[in-house]
Amino acid sequence: MRLATADRTLRRVVAVTLAALVARLAFLGSRVAHFDEGRVGYWTLEYARTGEYTYRAVLHGPLLQHVNRHLFDLLGPTDFAMRLFPAVVTGLLPLSVVLFRARLSNRELTALALLLAFEPLLLYYGRFSRSDPLVGAFAFVAFGLVVRAIDAERAGYLVPALGFLGLGLGAKENALLYPVAWLGAGLFLLDHRLLGSDDRLATLRESGRTVARGVRRGLPMAVGGLLLAFVVLFVMYAPRTPGPEPGIGALGSNPAALPALLDAAFVQSGRRLAELWLAPNSQFKLEFSYVVVAGALLKSLLVPAAPVTLLGVGGFLADRYRSAPRDLVQFAGAWALFSLVGYPAVADVPASWLGVHILLPLVIPAAVALAATYEVARSHDALVGRVATVTLVLVAASVAGVAGYTSYVNPDGSHELAQYSQPHGDFSGLRDDPDELLVYGAAFVDGDTTAPRRPPCVAWFETLPLGWYTERANTTVTCAANASELPDQLPPVVVAPAAASDGELGSRTAGWEVSRVNLRQGAEPAIVLVDPDRTD
């Protein structure tokens, strides 16, 4: 009977996983590219064009670029292809709940799979071409594998666990924060046991002996896992060149290049990381205060993610004050708490995607609370059962409503999950891959012909994701900072500040199709002008 129940649970988890994949792949290319998506997409195209890759700390880990380079070759450089890898990885994440089968009931496992699949913030950023959902997914699987190694007493699980952690570090450097949060959560568990112990010294000694036994048993496999992670990171961070050296492709014919490649992959990459993100005078460290970033993070957890956040906090507290708190639930709650406190100290911008790193551990106590609520609704016919039923309906309706609105109805609109660098509006004139395009206005044109990006005349960071769309289409781009620089024959597509429609540009484009767009949330609007006689 127990085996049959486990089989039914596994079937449910697989069904939820398939639904999660569908939810992430449906209309995946409908949202216009975010600033960061456009920037990384552009440099991925440049990598594919030149065959050269060197770690750029400002773009974070190289995994997404390496994978997308091949996806672009296979599917073309589209918004769909750009987001496909994170969508598939996060869509498969509900399968990982089977790693916790020794610590969670069948209903709790199903609830956990559902939350990983459809929680609005996890769903929205699972459909996003950035590294945070990848880091979170790989770290969550790594944690699950460690838990499984303990429960099954099979140290072999440590090898893939460290391999997944290496993939997380290849996706983004903040994967380093996960072991730090895990250490804090482990100390939290120890402290809880000491407070509830009559003989704290004996409890401390027993805990030390347990850790020592685990280290002795797992050390050989842990060493193997570290070697695997080292290889993964080397493959990710080593430079590529189209020639015979000094890229990673030279190793086959020139093994003597290995020391230089190791230096480039680890020493030089580490130096770039430290100089850009960790140095006291780094341009990214002082732009936003801890309070601003923490406020934005809390807002994302308490507005679009409110039902799951409240379930997670409630599940953690209810478990903590029961007669026998469960280690997994307490560890996950403490992991979420340490992440909530730590991320504002290291984040460079106040962004909702940081909530991914708090919600992933928090869904464990949330799943416990959700399953308990279901049990109460199922077993009580009186008022308590009705309240539990209404709670379940409200949670399901809230999650479905917010997820549907933010991911499908208005994915690039003005809501809590659309970070301020998310453009919105009708970008069809740009996304239809025009052959020629004019960028007009001093706000969008800087005339820096020495810039390492194309088109060099465009104020690149003020107009992203324009560079992604023009580069992928190989669009011929010209610039005019003012009316005197306008060419005699305008290209069929023009991008300009909205105010330009009242001047000479407006008179010369009379009868053209006009779309108002925002290149940032709340920014001054721009316009995309399209000549219908010269475009399809």
56-84 residue pLDDT tens: 888 899 999 999 999 999 999 999 999 99
> Over pLDDT 70: what percentage of the chain?
95
Same domain (yes/no): 18, 109: yes
Q: Report if residue 493 sits inside a domain.
A: yes
Domain boundary among 409, 442, 470: 409
* Beta carbons of 31 and 410 less than 8 angstroms apart: no
Same domain (yes/no): 70, 196: yes
pLDDT tens for 269-315 read 889 888 877 765 666 555 678 899 899 899 999 989 999 999 999 99
Sequence-ordered alpha helix ranges (H) in 153-264:
158-171, 177-195, 200-237, 258-262
pLDDT attached to residue 219: 87
Same domain (yes/no): 462, 405: no
Domain boundary among 409, 434, 465: 409
Q: Report if residue 439 sits inside a domain.
A: yes
Residues 390, 402: Cα–Cα separation, whole Å: 18
Same domain (yes/no): 40, 159: yes
Q: Report if residue 418 sits inside a domain.
A: no
Domain limits for position 448: 424-530
Q: Which residues are CB-neighbours of 212 under 8 A, at least 6 positions away?
A: none
Same domain (yes/no): 76, 215: yes
Residues 142, 138: Cα–Cα separation, whole Å: 6
| pTM of the shown model | 0.94
3-state secondary structure at position 479? strand
Which residues, listed in sequence order, are joined to residue 530 by a DSSP beta bridge? Answer: 493, 513
Q: Report if residue 35 sits inside a domain.
A: yes
Same domain (yes/no): 326, 394: yes
Q: Report if residue 268 sits inside a domain.
A: no
Residues 418, 424: Cα–Cα separation, whole Å: 9
Same domain (yes/no): 479, 391: no
How many structural domains are present in the chain? 2
Domain boundary among 409, 443, 463: 409
Q: Report if residue 350 sits inside a domain.
A: yes
* Beta carbons of 398 and 405 less than 8 angstroms apart: no
Same domain (yes/no): 41, 7: yes
Which of the two residues, 68 and 51, has the higher pLDDT score? 68
Same domain (yes/no): 346, 311: yes
Q: Report if residue 273 sits inside a domain.
A: no
Burial 65-74 (b: 16+ CB within 10 A, else e): bbbbbebbee
CB count, 10 Å around CB of 255? 9
Same domain (yes/no): 361, 428: no
pLDDT tens for 418-437 read 888 899 988 988 888 899 99
> Over pLDDT 90: what percentage of the chain?
63
Same domain (yes/no): 307, 199: yes
Q: Report if residue 358 sits inside a domain.
A: yes
Which residues, listed in sequence order, are joined to residue 528 by a DSSP beta bridge? Answer: 495, 515
CB count, 10 Å around CB of 203? 16
pLDDT tens for 102-148 read 999 999 999 999 999 999 999 999 999 999 999 999 999 999 999 99
Same domain (yes/no): 428, 405: no
Residues 307, 256: Cα–Cα separation, whole Å: 57
pLDDT attached to residue 1: 40
